Amino acid sequence: SLCAGGAPSLSYRELKDLKKTNVLHIDVRERWEIDRFGKIPESINIPLGELVEALQMDPMEFKEQYNQKMPSKSDPVVFSCLAGTRSKQALGFAMSLGFC
């Protein structure tokens, strides 16, 4: 399985290649940033402040809230933000919850 912790920084091209596989892409930018700068295709927007709660939701509740199947702890997940700081925090949160 792929662990983003092993490759904390990806280029956009690497991300595009990864998305051809079964990786879940979570964009942790705020909703206003998505509105202003645009959504990355096939990503789920879960603002960083909601992430810990979201990753602990009941899978049905997650699907209802984010319109996407909740990742299992063994699913490959990639986080992104604008500059990289929040995505590193998101990775830390996810790993502390047993993802990766």
The pTM assigned to this predicted structure is 0.81
The catalytic residue among 26, 46, 81, 100 is 81
- Measured distance between the N- and C-terminal CA atoms of the chain, rounded to whole angstroms: 8
Q: In angstroms, rounded to a whole number, what is the distance separating the alpha carbons of residues 60 and 91?
A: 23
CATH topology of domain 12-97: Oxidized Rhodanese; domain 1 (3.40.250)
Domain boundaries, the chain: 12-97
Q: Is 81 a catalytic residue?
A: yes
Contact between residue 28 and residue 80 where contact means Cβ atoms under 8 Å apart:
yes
List per-residue pLDDT tens for the chain, 100 residues long: 334 444 456 666 766 666 666 778 899 999 999 999 999 888 999 999 999 999 999 999 999 999 988 988 888 888 888 888 898 899 899 999 988 6
The residues with which 44 forms a beta bridge, in sequence order, are 26
